[in-house]
Amino acid sequence: MPLQQLQLIAMEPKPYAYRAQMETLIKACADGQWRSLAEFERALGYRYSQTGLSARVRDLRRGIAQFSEWTSEHVKDEQNHHFYRIVRRAPRN
């Protein structure tokens, strides 16, 4: 099959549901418990990839305006496993 024909059958990307993913993550996991990305993925019923969840956790840490009352924290254990938690951001004085 010629390359030109292959380009024509490329799939369209899925619409991105940033807000829904962020709201679902906060609703399910904002209890302050430390979790790995795999545990976040499992808690959300495998609807979102670990890559996408990692990006949302990072967005929370950076203080995205829509969700500025929430933040995330990150630690590594002795075996270099990464864990994250979502907590309400402390009020600023």
List the CATH number of the domain containing 42.
1.10.10.10
pTM here is: 0.75
Question: How many domains does the chain fold into?
Answer: 1
Instruction: Indicate if the pLDDT at residue 17 is higher than 70.
Output: yes
At 36, which amino acid appears?
S
Residue 82 inside a domain? The answer is yes
Residue 93 inside a domain? The answer is no
Q: What average pLDDT does the structure give for the chain?
A: 84
- Confidence at residue 76, expressed as pLDDT on a 0 to 100 scale: 96
Share of the chain above pLDDT 70, in %: 82
Residue 11 inside a domain? The answer is no
Share of the chain above pLDDT 90, in %: 63
Region 4-33 average pLDDT: 74
Residue 34 belongs to domain spanning: 17-88
For 45: left if phi > 0, alpha if psi spans -120 to 50, otherwise beta; the answer is left
